[in-house]
Amino acid sequence: SANPSAASPPQPSAAAESLNPYGLRVSSAQGVVESLTGAIGSTPLIKLQKLSDETSCSVLGKAEFQNPGGSVKDRAALYVVKDAEERGLLKPGGTVVEGTAGNTGIGLAHVCRSRGYKLVIYMPDTQSQGKVDLLRLLGAEVYPVPAVAWENSDNYNWQAKRHAERVAKEDEAGAVWTNQFDNVANRRAHVETTGPEIWAQTKGKVDAFTCATGTGGTLAGVTRYLKDVSGGKVRCYLADPPGSVLHSYVTSGGKLKERTGGSITEGIGQGRVTDNLAQEVGELDGAVHISDEKSIEMVYRCLDEEGLYLGASSALNVVAAKEVAERLGPGHTVVTMLCDGAYRYADRLFSGKWLESKGLRGAIPKKLQKYIVL
């Protein structure tokens, strides 16, 4: 008699596109990936329901917190390491050196462990012990150094550069300073992955893209791809926090002002036009400036309305997407980046004491104050 379990299995091609009754994607499209780095990218594009309703637009966020290292920077980390390999700078057991206090270091730590490289991180000694501990437990050698300006040769970036030069001379396995700000392999990660994913996921129905910049890799790379593939039709906007000079640079047609002030949005805000940004900054359709009050409120709103637990840069991006949707009017699709989760920042973002110290407690609407639990 026929064994029901031996009935012909579902055809992979049929399974590739299907959603189960709960709306979950059951896909065989990706198959087995060769290593951890194969799990980088291909993140979902999430419709933010409440903001989409409010604006009569589709406001979509790219779920970068789903990357193995928990942030958008995994993409750039993989690309700067692959670039060094392709240029013959790294052999098995070689050393990667970077100056970073945050997500790039975590991304590099995963990529370096997975690919068999040593990782050395220089960071300003003003960073939290938690960040140092995390990088060390991910296998990195960490040097917190005095926090001095970029122009000073003892700045953590230049110390990283010199460290890589020393090791490269002594160790035949090689060493590289990955130089995330000015190494355009960073931007290429987004030209080749993030941009095409957004285009494919929206089936080309995307009217605008906006995101903030740290190195500028994400904004420039996605802008490059979407402008090219759409013949310039997709409108691209910089989103900028207080203390960054890029908003005024874009809106003034290229005047660089002195950097003053700061923001609670870690990982973004920039004092110069990096090499990653240089080619695309002139192609932007505009810029939006977002206050810390609006960003922190959106951290709480996304949690309450969508169940999304986001870091402050993601929340700033969501505010920017909402403002771009309002500028464009009903019926448009606006995409932004959900760069990372709130996990690494919870002791600040959800602490009443910290909010008060930043003068931001009043920015949280009464009905959302129940989330201030730390």
Binding interface with ligand PMP (CB under 6 A) = 71-73, 102-103, 212-218, 267-268, 311, 313, 339-340
Nearest distance, CB of residue 320 and ligand PMP, angstroms: 12
Catalytic residue among 263, 295, 313, 314: 313
Nearest CA-CA partner of 297 in 266, 324, 323, 319: 319
* 169 assigned to active site: no
CB 254 within 8 A of CB 278: no
Q: Min. distance of Cβ 299 from ligand PMP in angstroms?
A: 12
3-state secondary structure labels for all residues of 320-357:
HHHHHHHHHCCCCEEEEEECEECHHHHHHHCCHHHHHH
Q: What is the DSSP letter of 65?
A: G
In the complex, the smallest distance separating the C-beta of residue 48 from ligand PMP, rounded to whole angstroms, is: 17
Query: Helix, strand or coil for residue 37?
Result: helix
- Using CB atoms within 10 Å of the CB of residue 22, give its burial: 0 to 12 exposed, 13 to 18 middle, 19+ buried: exposed
Measured distance CA(146)–CA(154) in Å, rounded = 8
Q: For the chain, first and last CA: distance in Å?
A: 63
Q: Which is nearer to ligand PMP, 209 or 332 (CB)?
A: 209
C-alpha closest to that of 264 among 292, 237, 240, 245: 292
The smaller minimum CB distance to ligand PMP, of residues 58 and 71, is found at 71
Query: How far does Cα 4 stand from its chain's mean position?
Result: 47
Residues 6+ apart with CB under 8 A from 136: 142
Cα–Cα distance for residue pair 206/233, rounded to 1 Å: 9
* Closest distance to ligand PMP from the beta carbon of 2 (Å): 55
In whole angstroms, the minimum distance from the beta carbon of 264 to ligand PMP comes to 12
CA separation for the pair 137, 104 (Å, rounded): 15
Q: What is the distance between the alpha carbons of residues 165 and 173, in angstroms, rounded to a whole number?
A: 13
Report how far residue 261's alpha carbon sits from residue 274's, in angstroms, rounded to the nearest whole number.
20
- Rounded-to-integer distance, Cα 363 and Cα 352, Å: 12
Q: Nearer Cβ to ligand PMP, position 61 or 311?
A: 311
- Give the relative orientation of helices 103-115 and 73-86 as an angle to the nearest 10 degrees: 50
Minimum Å distance from CB 116 to ligand PMP? 25
Q: Which is nearer to ligand PMP, 167 or 288 (CB)?
A: 288
Whether residue 73 lies in the annotated active site: yes
Question: Shortest Cβ distance from residue 339 to ligand PMP (Å)?
Answer: 3
| Residue 154 neighbours by CB distance under 10 Å | 12
Per annotation, catalytic residue among 52, 62, 73, 295: 73
Which CB sits closer to ligand PMP, 174 or 311? 311
The catalytic site residues sit at 73, 313
